[in-house]
Structure 1
Amino acid sequence: MTSIDETVDERAGAERVSIGVPIGAGVVCALVGFTSSFAVVLAGLRAVGADAAQAASGLLAVSVAMAVATMLLSWRFRIPVTSAWSTPGAALLATTGAVAGGWSAAVGAFLSCGVLLVVTGWWPRLAILVRRIPVPIAQAMLAGVLLPLCVEPLRGLAANPVAVGPVLAVWLVLLKLRPRWAVPGAFAAALVVIGVALARDGGGPGWADFVPQLSVTTPSWTVGALMGAAIPLYLVTMAAQNIPGVAVMAGFGYDVPWRPAMTVTGVGSMLAAPFGGHAINLAAISAALAAAPDADPDRERRWVAGFSAGVTYLVLGLTSTGLVAVVLAAPDGVVQAVAGVALLGAFASACAGAMSQADDRLPAAVTFVVAASGIAVGGIGSAFWALVAGIVLRALRIGRP
Structure 2
Amino acid sequence: MGKIFSDMSVSALVAGFVAVLIGFASSVVIVFQAAQSAGADSNVIVSWIMALGLGMGGTCFFLSLWYRAPVITAWSTPGAALLVTSLGSITYAEVIGVFVFAGVLTLLTGLSGLFDKVMRLVPLPIACAMLAGVLFKFGLSIFDSMMSDTFLVGVMLMTYLVSKRFVPRYSVLFVLLAGVSLVLARSEESFLAVIPLTLGHFVWVWPEWNLSALIGVGLPLYIVTMTSQNIPGVAVMRSNGYHTPVSPLISWTGFTSIVLAPLGGFAFNLAAITAAICSGDECHKDPKRRYIAGLSAGVFYVLAGLAGVSVVALFSVFPTTMITALAGIALLGTIGMNLKSAMIDDVNREAALVTFLVTVSGVSFVGIASAFWGILFGVICLLISKIKHK
Q: Same fold (TM over 0.5)?
A: yes
Query: How many angstroms does 1:232 deviate by?
Result: 2.8
C-alpha contact (below 8 Å) 2:64/2:71 kept by paired residues:
no
Matched, 1:181 2:181: no
More displaced stretch, 20-29 vs 179-188: 20-29
CA RMSD of superposed structures (Å): 4.8
Query: How many angstroms does 1:234 deviate by?
Result: 1.9
> Quick one: distance in 2 between partners of 1:154 and 1:355?
25
Give 5+ residue unaligned stretches, structure 1: 1-17, 251-255, 296-301
1:205-244 equivalences in 2 (<5 Å): 206-208=194-196, 211-212=199-200, 221=217, 225-241=221-237, 243=238
C-alpha contact (below 8 Å) 1:371/1:383 kept by paired residues:
yes
1:103-118 equivalences in 2 (<5 Å): 118=107
Classify 1:113/1:86 alpha carbon distance in 2 versus 1 (closer, same or farther; 3 Å). farther
More displaced stretch, 153-162 vs 171-180: 171-180
1:388-399 equivalences in 2 (<5 Å): 388-397=376-385
Query: How many angstroms does 1:309 deviate by?
Result: 7.3
**Match 1:340 to one of 323, 328, 334:** 328
- Aligned residue for 2:26, secondary structure, equals helix
1:129 equivalent in structure 2: 118
2:134 equivalent in structure 1: 145
Classify 1:365/1:189 alpha carbon distance in 2 versus 1 (closer, same or farther; 3 Å). same
> Quick one: distance in 2 between partners of 1:344 and 1:375?
23
> Quick one: distance in 2 between partners of 1:304 and 1:272?
25
Query: How many angstroms does 1:275 deviate by?
Result: 2.9
Matched, 1:38 2:21: yes
C-alpha contact (below 8 Å) 1:36/1:187 kept by paired residues:
no
Give 5+ residue unaligned stretches, structure 2: 37-41, 89-94, 208-212
Query: How many angstroms does 1:161 deviate by?
Result: 0.9
Query: How many angstroms does 1:382 deviate by?
Result: 2.3
Classify 1:263/1:55 alpha carbon distance in 2 versus 1 (closer, same or farther; 3 Å). same
> Quick one: distance in 2 between partners of 1:165 and 1:108?
47
- Aligned residue for 2:188, secondary structure, equals helix
- Aligned residue for 1:171, secondary structure, equals helix
- 1:279 maps to a residue whose letter is N
Matched, 1:69 2:52: no
**Match 1:275 to one of 265, 278, 297:** 265
More displaced stretch, 274-283 vs 34-43: 274-283
Residue-by-residue CA offset, 1:154-193 (whole Å, 9 max, x unaligned): 1211331123223223333332333233223323333333
1:155 equivalent in structure 2: 144
- 1:148 maps to a residue whose letter is K
Query: How many angstroms does 1:152 deviate by?
Result: 0.8
Residue-by-residue CA offset, 1:79-125 (whole Å, 9 max, x unaligned): 746542259x76xx5xx994476376999998788656644553334
Classify 1:211/1:265 alpha carbon distance in 2 versus 1 (closer, same or farther; 3 Å). same
More displaced stretch, 385-394 vs 37-46: 37-46
Matched, 1:380 2:376: no
Classify 1:97/1:139 alpha carbon distance in 2 versus 1 (closer, same or farther; 3 Å). farther
Residue-by-residue CA offset, 1:194-246 (whole Å, 9 max, x unaligned): 3334326x8997343764566889896266655444323121122323x568x
1:8-19 equivalences in 2 (<5 Å): 19=2
> Quick one: distance in 1 between partners of 2:366 and 2:200?
38
Residue-by-residue CA offset, 1:328-384 (whole Å, 9 max, x unaligned): 333452211011112222212221222132122112111211111123344433223
> Quick one: distance in 1 between partners of 2:285 and 2:166?
23
Classify 1:159/1:259 alpha carbon distance in 2 versus 1 (closer, same or farther; 3 Å). closer
1:3 equivalent in structure 2: none
Query: How many angstroms does 1:151 deviate by?
Result: 0.8
- 1:237 maps to a residue whose letter is G
- Aligned residue for 1:375, secondary structure, equals coil
- 1:32 maps to a residue whose letter is A
C-alpha contact (below 8 Å) 1:82/1:309 kept by paired residues:
no
More displaced stretch, 56-65 vs 379-388: 56-65
2:73 equivalent in structure 1: 85
Residue-by-residue CA offset, 1:52-89 (whole Å, 9 max, x unaligned): 989987665444224323554578x6x746542259x7
Query: How many angstroms does 1:126 deviate by?
Result: 3.3
C-alpha contact (below 8 Å) 2:103/2:267 kept by paired residues:
no
C-alpha contact (below 8 Å) 1:366/1:386 kept by paired residues:
yes
1:369 equivalent in structure 2: 357
**Match 1:356 to one of 344, 364, 370:** 344
C-alpha contact (below 8 Å) 1:139/1:353 kept by paired residues:
yes
> Quick one: distance in 2 between partners of 1:173 and 1:107?
49
- TM-score, normalising length: structure 1: 0.68
- Aligned residue for 1:275, secondary structure, equals coil
> Quick one: distance in 2 between partners of 1:206 and 1:359?
56
> Quick one: distance in 2 between partners of 1:160 and 1:399?
51
C-alpha contact (below 8 Å) 1:62/1:279 kept by paired residues:
no
C-alpha contact (below 8 Å) 1:99/1:379 kept by paired residues:
no
Residue-by-residue CA offset, 1:305-341 (whole Å, 9 max, x unaligned): 9878755653355457544323333345221101111
- Aligned residue for 1:359, secondary structure, equals coil
- 2:175 maps to a residue whose letter is A
